Amino acid sequence: MCELLGMSANVPTDIVFSFTGLMQRGGGTGPHRDGWGIGFYEGRGLRLFQDPAASVESEVARLVQRYPIKSETVIGHIRQANVGNVCLANTHPFVRELWGRNWCFAHNGQLADFSPSPSFYRAVGDTDSEAAFCDLLNRVRQAFPEPVTVEMLLPVLVQACAHYRSQGVFNCLLSNGDWLFSFCSTKLAYITRRAPFGPACLTDAELTVDFQAETSPNDVVTVLATAPLTSNEAWTRMQPGEWRLWRRGECIADGSV
């Protein structure tokens, strides 16, 4: 099964440390060899890097690892294919435009016999993940032809995720660059780092970072991952059916279905 990586921060922050740990799971310490991708929001823009190769062997992944892109919202993914061929079109995260913003989505899990009715948004590849993303945006577009606040949008997102969860495993991350929505079907964890900062040690690589030297006292950074990325920090595991909405590193809404 795939693994997710997300970040929400109150200041532009690089995710090189967490990405270094995740890429080892893409064919090194883990079996997720069927592609990887990561999207960095920069205002309304989105820098997207993808490669159908294993992240542990990918030159593009090494580029991202060496290039400390700073962002307030990030979504990443490493793939272990179960539906769809190993190719660029099937590589997460997926991106579509809605209400003049780039919406970015990544999914961990599998939906059984999932074939939603065609509508405005259609999948380019042949994964259940992209089909679910398109179906989700179609639900949003049908409910709200014009932009609404995320508070008004939340019931539609939660109801859709509950529906997908009823058809299989649906752990996901979704963002429009302003907020980050996380839904746990089976497995998703997070950690919020704030002052006083300390050292963090990766589980999948011999790398330690002292965040005290890399941050300011007002920084708030939340990292989400399918499984905790560090060995010396207390991560919080989300419960099945739990959802959380993040903005600028803080959880601004949460609930369960």
Which residues are the active-site residues? 2
**Among residues 105, 16, 25, which one has the least CA distance to residue 63?**
16
Q: CA torsion angle for 120, 125, 131, 134 (degrees, to 10)? A: -40
Question: What's the rounded Cα separation, in Å, for the pair 91 and 193?
Answer: 29
User: Is 196 in contact with 20 (CB distance < 8 Å)?
Assistant: no
Question: In the chain, what is the straight-line distance between the N-terminal and C-terminal CA atoms, in Å?
Answer: 23
Q: Please give the C-alpha separations between residue 110 and each of 139, 167, 221, 224, 229, in angstroms, as whole numbers.
A: 20, 8, 29, 20, 23
User: Is 106 in contact with 173 (CB distance < 8 Å)?
Assistant: yes
Backbone dihedral angles phi then psi of residue 151, each to the nearest 5 degrees: -65, -40
